[in-house]
Structure 1
Amino acid sequence: MKIEKLVKELSEILAEITASEDVINSLTQKVHPDYKASAKNLIRYLILRSYDLRKYHNSLSDLGVSSLRSGEGYVYSDLSNVIRNLNLIKGTPFELYSDVESIGYTESRKLLKKHSYRLFSKTKKEKFTEIMVTLPDEAAENRSLLKKMVKAGMQIARINLGKGDPDLWKKMVKLIREVSDETGKRIKIYMDLAGPKIRTSPIEIIDSNGEKKNAIAIKKGDHIILAKSNGRELDPVDKQEELPYKTVKIGVTLEELIDDAKIGDAVYFDDGTIQAKVIAKQTDDLELVIHESYKSKIGSLKGINVPNTRLSLPALTEKDKQNLAFVCANADIVGYSFVRTGSDVKKLYQELDKYEAQELGVVFKIETRDAFENLPDIILEGMRRNKIGIMIARGDLAVEVGFERISEVQNQILWICEAAHIPVIWATQVLENLAKKGIPTRAEISDAALSVKAECVMLNKGPKIILAIKVLKNILKRMQKHSFKKKNELRPLHVAQGYIRKTFSESEAKVMPH
């Protein structure tokens, strides 16, 4: 593309951003002062990304100026500098709009660091990505295990309020505080609200040998009756010898699903390993047909995802509200599960205000299609407080948006959060095989390396969790020398130095930078 056309088209984009300043100021009016510049940059980024910028990248790179590929955190100054440099190349003057407040690259990094330090209560000495670990039940009493986790590199202890009970959680908190004092390391406590997680009801059947089972055999083509259990025990299997398929009956923990689902809606069980579709609907149940199954059994309390169904469920359940008193008294950070809209954020903040919990960090878990599509609203509403973050809950999110799209979607979440200078937690199945079996897969090592783009990485529990923490810490330490967000950090490469020493003569090598 010719330089004249580049200047013309990019100037038009800059003019639109500039003309939107009144709207931007209005949209960010109620944002916390610490996030004002970040909120404005986020909206400018969204305006910029409403254009197809691909046609400019290569032409800008050829001219030796920013290609607009990695300026998420400083949109206005990046675009302005590109246009100014293009005009300098042309030999024509360019004046920046003086009344537009903007931030540059260095300031954008400072803001992200400041917001990360505040959310995770970090000191300036702690430069590396935080490591969060989900606590197993035994961490309530096993002091030795907890100490080993801390010494291995755990900085944030995650307590899942969707499991266990207040007595267990209290024991965990008490032991974390004691171990933190004993080791001299400040361990932050993160608590996940359970939210309206939809699961299969408990299953208990007696097999032909008289043994109790909590799973039912299924296969592709079988039918499932998903029913409102209302506390009743359901007969799990209806024998239909004359049909080529069998029908199993299973209860659901949140009965609103039955009311809200429509014929044709997708229903996924157990992280998408069993995929079905609604083919009939009654008042108290749905009939599904399994069109894909990667497992031979469907079990008790397995997660259910309905990506096409608009659920009339509150993100904040009554149980969550009851647990908030405990959270506000004991946690450093709360995770808001299944948040879908900016309105959901308001509702949580209203509840937190009752406890005057202004110092509590809040992390919004992006785990549904709605949450992803409403991410800008969630962030801007969240910015009314100054200790916030985003978790990419990749398990549920992958089922919701599709496994083919999850890589694209998680990158978009990272970009939007970078534009807002908001810390990100990279979660779900990180080094899962290593934590469970002690042997990592190549794919999960690559995934862990990518997690350096986030400000915190979450590991789940497992028998080999100490090893997993150590490996993750080592990977993050190495990768942070090579990259920051989308930008590569060019430290000296040993392979390059070795080649130079080997190939060039000693006199020539002396002039080479080492």
Structure 2
Amino acid sequence: MTNMQTKNVELDLSDPCFLLTTLQELRQSVDQEGREIFERWKKQIHRQSFINSSLNLAYYLALRRHDLRELQAALMPWGLSSLGRIEAKVLPTLDAVIATLQAVCRTDNDSIIIHPPLDAFFEGDRLLQQNTEDLFGNTLDNRRVRIMVTLPNEAATNYEFLRDIIRQGTNCVRINCAHDTPVEWLAMINNVKQAELELESSCKILMDLSGPKTRIKSVLTPSPKQRIFKGESLLLTHELPTTIDSEFFQASCTIPEVLKQLKIGTIVWIDDGRIGACVESITSEGVWLKITHARLKGEKLLPEKGINFPDTELHLSSLTEKDQQDLDFITTHANQVNIIGYSYVQTPADIQLLQQELAVRLPENSPTPAIVAKIETPLAVSNLPELIIQAAGKQPFGIMIARGDLALEIGYQRLAEIQEEILWLCEAAHIPVIWATQVLENLVKHGMPSRAEITDAAMSERAECVMLNKGDYIIEAVAILDDVLTRMQAHQVKKTPQLRALHSW
């Protein structure tokens, strides 16, 4: 049975016995296909504690090859699970529904399925909770969703600032290796440890490798113009000429080898999508871009701004030379750094590369840091099951939905859809997820949240951790996010509504 919709046309799903037959066939298919998927993964799984999770993930992938919408609707009138919250417990959910239908149909044969015990039914939820605690630790106030904060440079010199963000509810801090220096990183780490002692609380430390992010290195603008407009041209080069005079906009990029992988017609986004372009021609001078998107007043072309190539599968090492140097620092401080953020990871080989680099660097008997893979490209999305198996099969692991680059790479229209699918897949593997990028951004930067971002923060209850970026009002933002998440967990846990008594009416 490969398509439930086709199957449903042939069956009267208002008949519970037909429903039972359909579900039994579905379960058999899921069990068989799931085990085949699991067998392909088995050699990569070294952690015994991840065996059941990987098997459930395999079952979930097998299940989601079917279109179950008509079957879901047919189950509802019978007061049965519509399978809409099946992620963490695929076979137990199917077995529970089948067992109930067997009772309705008064089935009496040797192949009868019994209701799964409560412990078995909720085992997936327990595993997700355990994996979340392994990654982020416990929260003192029983808030389910953790809060992560990206540390500004101030955290290296202002102990009170760091203490206050932890006091307000921060459970994990992120040190971005793209900024500051090892001297400042160590000062931040020491301040975190001091705050933990003073507050008698725990705060995990994540160090985020920069990865092969292509950025503008330097810019030449045609004097006296400062802004580039739609319809104008931009020359993207390996290095800018030494002359300061230019008749057109020019920019060099931080990873010149990217230019060799571009083709005419390639789409390019610059500065988080503020500037859109496509490759118009390729010459010995560099790559000529035609600007296709910019505000009417034009856009400033600035150094350090990111460049994305959404329709190009770039072949770059996931660990740059700088990342290798930063890994030296991280492994030297492995007793204090709990998690490594892995940028632009796309394939299982990328995960394996980081694991190998850690293995040769880590001192004997030192703890192995957990890995958080940042999902930022279409290839990473399509490889997500294999990324999970390669990483979580060997060490604690989490996923960050890096919505900034991901939106540019897959298109804004698909962001919400893909975010949901990532959440579902990770829940099936019992893997914690970090909801990241522009969370409460107006509040963090300007002191006043937009209405939409408060709703976004509330919906982040679907994840296990929410990341805030740095800004002047970060302490206030942590306090508000803590309040929002605490309120929301009385109404929603993952995909499941919590029907507490309503007090508004």
Settle same-fold status: TM greater than 0.5: yes
- The residue number in structure 1 matching 2:484 is 475
Q: Is the 8 A contact 1:41 1:73 kept in 2?
A: yes
Aligned letter for 1:36?
Answer: I
State the alpha-carbon separation in 1 of the partners of residues 128 and 244 from structure 2: 52
State the distance in 2 between where 1:305 and 1:137 align.
Answer: 26
> How do 1:406-417 and structure 2 match up within 5 A?
406-417=415-426
Alignment of 1:383 with 2:392, yes or no, is yes
Change over 3 Å in CA distance of 1:102–1:399 after alignment to 2: farther
Q: 8 Å contact 1:78–1:104 — kept in the other structure?
A: no
| Kept in 1: contact 2:139–2:171 (CA 8 A) | no
Q: In the TM superposition, what whole-angstrom CA distance separates every residue of 1:343-398 from its partner, at most 9, and x where no partner exists? A: 11111101111134543111011011111111011001112223110000000001
Partner of 2:356: 350
Q: How many residues were matched structurally?
A: 480
Amino acid at match of 1:152: Q
Confirm whether residue 35 of structure 1 aligns to residue 72 of structure 2: no
1:96-122 CA distance string (max 9 Å, x none): 679x99984411111001111111132
Cα contact 1:162–1:193 (8 A) shared by 2: yes
Q: 1:181, CA displacement in angstroms?
A: 1.8
Runs of 4+ more than 6 Å apart: 100-103
Q: Pairwise mapping of residues 431-510 of structure 1 onto structure 2 (< 5 A)? A: 431-495=440-504, 499=505
Once the two structures are aligned, what percentage of the paired residues are identical?
39
Equivalent position amino acid for 1:413 in 2:
I
1:109 matched to 2:122? no
What letter corresponds to residue 19 of structure 2 in structure 1?
Answer: L
Query: Please, which moves more after superposition, 166-175 or 8-17?
Result: 8-17
What is the aligned counterpart of 1:304 among 299, 302, 307? 307
The yes-or-no answer on 1:276 pairing with 2:290 is no
> Are residues 1:133 and 2:125 paired?
no
CA distance in 1, matches of 2:339, 2:30: 35
Q: Is the 8 A contact 2:44 2:389 kept in 1?
A: no
Partner of 2:200: 184
Q: Which residue of 2 aligns with 1:24?
A: 38
Query: Who is 2:88 aligned against?
Result: 73
* Deviations 1:153-197, CA, capped at 9 Å, x for gaps: 112111000111212212211222222222222221110000001
Distance in 1 between residues matched to 2:309 and 2:66, nearest whole Å: 31
Are 1:366 and 2:375 an aligned pair?
yes
Q: Which of these residues, 333, 344, 353, is aligned with residue 339 of structure 2?
A: 333
**Alignment counterpart, residue 2 of structure 1, candidates 7, 14, 17:** 14
Do the aligned residues in 1 keep the contact of 2:378 with 2:410 (CA within 8 Å)?
yes
Deviations 1:43-76 (A, max 9, x none): 1100100111112111111111111111100001
Q: Secondary structure at the match of 2:500?
A: coil
134, 147, 162: which one aligns with 2:178: 162
SS at match of 2:123: helix
Letter in 1 for 2:232: D
Q: Letter of the 2:238 partner, please give it.
A: K
Q: Does 1:119 align with 2:135?
A: yes
Name the counterpart of 2:9: none
- Give, in whole Å, the separation in 2 of the partners of 1:93 and 1:461: 63
Return the alpha-carbon distance in structure 2 between the equivalents of residues 33 and 69 of structure 1: 28
Q: What's the secondary structure of 2:412's corresponding residue? A: coil
Q: How much has 1:19 moved relative to structure 2?
A: 2.2
Change (3 A) 1:442 1:127: closer
SS in 1 for 2:273: coil
Give me the whole-angstrom Cα distance separating, in 2, the residues matched to 1:78 and 1:56: 14
Kindly indicate whether the alpha-carbon contact (under 8 Å) linking 2:342 and 2:372 is maintained by their aligned counterparts in 1. Answer: yes
Tell me, yes or no, if the aligned pair for 1:200 and 1:304 is still in contact at 8 Å.
Answer: yes
Quick check: 1:15 aligned with 2:24? no
Which of 315, 318, 323 is the matching residue for 1:320? 323
Q: Return closer, same or farther for 1:234/1:375 CA change in 2, 3 Å cut-off.
A: farther
Gaps of 5+ in 2: 1-12
Q: Residues of 2 paired with 1:173 and 1:417: CA distance?
A: 29
Q: Structure 2 vs 1, CA of residues 120 and 234 (structure 1 numbering), >3 Å: closer, same or farther?
A: farther
Name 1:503's counterpart in structure 2: none
Instruction: Give the equivalent residue in structure 2 for 1:227.
Output: 237
Deviation at 1:126, TM superposition (A): 4.2
Q: Which residue of 1 aligns with 2:10?
A: none
Separation of aligned partners in 1, 2:501 and 2:67:
35
Partner of 1:502: none
Cα distance in 2 between the residues matched to 1:142 and 1:463: 14
1:431-473 Cα offsets, whole Å, 9 max, x none, are: 0000011010011000000111111110000011111111000
Looking at structure 2, the residues matched to 315 and 152 of structure 1 have their Cα atoms a distance apart, in angstroms, of 35
**Is the deviation greater in 15-24 or in 57-66?**
15-24
Give the TM-score, by structure 1 length. 0.88
Quick one: structure 1 residues 127 and 355, their matched pair in 2 at CA, closer, same or farther if it must change by over 3 Å? farther
Cα distance in 2 for residues equivalent to 1:111 and 1:283: 56
Amino acid at match of 1:46: L
SS in 1 for 2:236: strand
Return closer, same or farther for 1:390/1:102 CA change in 2, 3 Å cut-off: farther
Give the letter for the 2:503 counterpart. H
Q: TM-score, normalised by structure 2?
A: 0.90
Shift of the alpha carbon at 1:85? 2.1
1:47 pairs with 2:62? yes
1:88–1:440 Cα change, 3 Å: same
Matches of 1:283 and 1:6, distance apart in 2: 66
Runs of 5+ consecutive residues of structure 1 not aligned to the other structure:
209-214, 240-246, 500-514
Whichever residue aligns with residue 340 of structure 1, its letter is: Q
Secondary structure of the 2:281 match is strand
Assess if the C-alpha contact under 8 Å between 2:207 and 2:339 holds in 1.
yes
Q: How has the CA–CA distance of structure 1 residues 395 and 23 changed in structure 2, closer, same or farther, with 3 Å as cutoff?
A: closer
TM-superposed deviation, 1:248: 1.3
Contact 1:76 1:103 in 2 (8 A): no
Per-residue deviation at 1:125? 6.5
Q: Contact between 2:223 and 2:245, CA under 8 Å: does it hold in 1?
A: no
**CA 33–478 in structure 1, closer or farther in 2 if over 3 Å, else same:** same
